[in-house]
A and B are shown apart, each in its own frame.
Chain A
Amino acid sequence: MNDVRLDTNFVDYLIVASYFVVVLGVGFAAKRYIKSSLDYFLSGRSLPAWITGLAFISANLGATEVLGMAANGAQYGVATVNYYWLGAIPAMVFLGLVMMPFYYGSKVRSVPEYLLLRFDKQSHVFNSVTFAVATILIAGVNLFALALVLKLLLGWPIIVGIIVAAVVVAAYITLGGLSSAIYNEVLQFFVILAALIPITVIGLFEVGGWGGLQDRVRESKLGEAGLHALEGTNPGDVTNPIGATWIGLVFGLGFVLAFSYWTTNFAEVQRALSAKDLSAAERTPLIGAIPKLFLPFVMIVPGMIALVVIPGLGSDQPNMEYNNAIPLLMNEYLPNGMLGIALTGLMASFMAGVAANVSAFNTVVTTDLVEPYLKKGMPDEWYIRFGRIATIGGIFVSIFTALIASTYDNLMNYLQALFSIFNAPLFATFIIGMFWKRMTSAAAIWGLIAGTVTAAGLFIGYKAGWIGFGSDLDQSMWGAGAAFVVDAVVTVVVSLMTKPKPVDQLQGLVYGMANVDESVKRPPHWWESPKLLGFSVLAGAAILTLVFW
């Protein structure tokens, strides 16, 4: 069936509508009922640690992730698990166990602010600007993905969908505000699972279980290679569908891309920074890593099912892009009712994705750029008004960045390319800055510029056809790796030529000088040990990788 137009009826719309009524209703009610900002964040502060961990993983489990990982599952098969067990878990454990003491201990409120304290204004400004650009590009990805769903749902042309979605999101941010976003994030986690689990179960049932799916994948264009995580990745003999060597996978994806995303991404780190004490902050990404271990089973497996049950997926035929794997499966398997749940899950998380990025954009532009540097000392109302204008402006620009995203037929690859440009150099600067007291402020800014230019240059060269890579993903892995190495080399060289900050200004910011957390109230239970949790999750990832080798 080539028609992806979903057979929605009033029941599905009823479910979608009920969700937005609840979320917006909570926003409205919260505005009237809640007086202080303490009240406002009440539910967040009092929720148990495992919910904080869920919020951490929810921030990553956007609909782009859902559509993109299913697309990768259809395009690369089992090898996509490398995004999880190799490309996320170790980085999340590293963030929790190694980096959190400096983030949390230095009491910074944002990732760019750490650069300001550790180095100087220049790298703060540079990072704030690149961060603003990155958020707008990512908001565009979400906007485009939302338009894609609207196209499937209502048959609207993409451009109309993008503009309508932009207007709806603008209304949603101004009406619902932050409170809707908080509720949305945790809610969406459960709604998306409620959509993905039935699709996976029925799909596996129809293709004859996991064994049946394996047989069918062997017969598909992926072949046997589509059933292995790391087989066929030896240099010179690459048969893995990703088209990358294990060096590229381990260093590019597992180390640079993953570590830079998880350890310097504002939206992620922010969750952990709001924890109540250091132990809880350390445990936030570690608890989030537990669902991350098992998500491949409901995200990648549906992609593989789509590959074998939907003829022509990934071909040039209209509507057969890999990105459409999940919507196509929804159409194939879900009856009215469940269809509405699945649509709600997708729409809610796109909205949250756009909203989160646009509000991060307006926060950084207003508080990290305009307030300290461009327009100092204006009254509070002026900044609030400027923030509103920045929000509208950000959404407007997102419409155009959505059009850039629409040229990619696998959104996850586009996102990885963006991370390779914006996060990979930042990670090199962070990691060296945290572990090497000698690193200077001049090194930070020059390293960041050199790394960003390198990754952007490789990306443009690949897009223009000057430089060849195995696949889009292969390009972003090498782009990230090159950006990391160039940033690191420039950082070391410039550091040795310039004068470092006096050591007494680095208290709480560098390795060996972490601030001691004095807020510990009681001896922790043995199961609250971040180390135990971290190493258990790592072991789980290693075992799963071996099973699917």
Chain B
Amino acid sequence: MSDTPNRAERAANLFDLRRIIGGLFVAWGVLLIVLGLLDVGDVDNAMNINLYSGIGMLVLGLLFLLWAFTRPLGRELRESEQASGSARSDGEGTRRPGDTGS
């Protein structure tokens, strides 16, 4: 089992929804935090919405990225395919990203 991802695995990783959500939320979160710190925006609120929302979105985005990179989709798929190859009729996806151990 080499660690060099093949083409299918790279494709799986590239289009992993968790990376897309994570990336977008991290980018937006950083942007909002900057806006919040600069205090731009012309609405007079008691609370700095951009800053707090930005922090929330950044954390969510980082969690998605952390999840996606600790359990890459490509490797998960290869492992589950190999498992189904050896263990009879194991089918696809007995182990999916997000399943904790077991």
Report which A residues bind B (CB closer than 8 A).
7, 11, 14-15, 18-19, 22, 26, 29-30, 33-34, 39, 42-43, 45-51, 179, 183, 186-187, 190, 194, 197-198, 201-202, 205-206, 276, 332-339, 341, 519, 521-522, 525
**Chain A residue, CB-CB nearest to B35:** A337
Q: In terms of DSSP, what is the predominant structure of the interface of chain B?
A: helix
**Chain A residue, CB-CB nearest to B76:** A46
- Are B43 and A42 in contact, CB atoms less than 8 angstroms apart? no
User: Does B62 sit at the interface, judged by CB under 8 A?
Assistant: no
Q: Among B23, B32, B40, B98, which residue has its beta carbon within 8 angstroms of that of A341? A: B32
Q: How far is the CA of A276 from the CA of B93 in the complex (A)?
A: 8
- Are B53 and A338 in contact, CB atoms less than 8 angstroms apart? yes
A47 CB contacts on chain B under 8 angstroms: 17, 96-98
- Are A335 and B43 in contact, CB atoms less than 8 angstroms apart? yes
Q: Among B42, B49, B60, which residue has its beta carbon within 8 angstroms of that of A7? A: B42
- Are A341 and B42 in contact, CB atoms less than 8 angstroms apart? no
Q: Whole-angstrom distance from the CB of B84 to the nearest CB of chain A? A: 9
Q: Whole-angstrom distance from the CB of B50 to the nearest CB of chain A? A: 5
User: Does B85 sit at the interface, judged by CB under 8 A?
Assistant: no
- Are A15 and B42 in contact, CB atoms less than 8 angstroms apart? no
Given pairs A18-B28, A335-B49, 13 additional interface contacts (CB within 8 A) = A29-B14, A29-B15, A43-B12, A46-B92, A46-B96, A50-B98, A194-B56, A276-B91, A334-B49, A335-B42, A336-B40, A338-B49, A525-B102
- Are A205 and B47 in contact, CB atoms less than 8 angstroms apart? yes
23 pairs, CB–CB < 8 Å, chain A vs chain B: A15-B28, A19-B24, A42-B11, A42-B15, A43-B12, A45-B92, A48-B99, A50-B98, A183-B20, A186-B17, A187-B24, A190-B21, A194-B57, A198-B49, A202-B46, A202-B47, A333-B43, A335-B43, A335-B45, A336-B40, A338-B49, A341-B53, A521-B90
**Chain B residue, CB-CB nearest to A341:** B28
Q: Among B20, B23, B27, B50, which residue has its beta carbon within 8 angstroms of that of A335? A: B50
Known: A26-B15, A334-B49. A521 touches B60 (CB 8 A): no
Report which B residues bind A (CB closer than 8 A).
8, 11-12, 14-17, 20-21, 23-25, 27-28, 31-32, 35-36, 40-43, 45-47, 49-50, 52-54, 56-57, 60, 73, 76-77, 89-94, 96-99, 102
Q: How far is the CA of A30 from the CA of B11 in the complex (A)?
A: 9
- Are B49 and A202 in contact, CB atoms less than 8 angstroms apart? yes
- Are A51 and B52 in contact, CB atoms less than 8 angstroms apart? no
A206 CB contacts on chain B under 8 angstroms: 45-46
B27 CB contacts on chain A under 8 angstroms: 18
Known: A43-B73, A337-B35. A187 touches B92 (CB 8 A): no
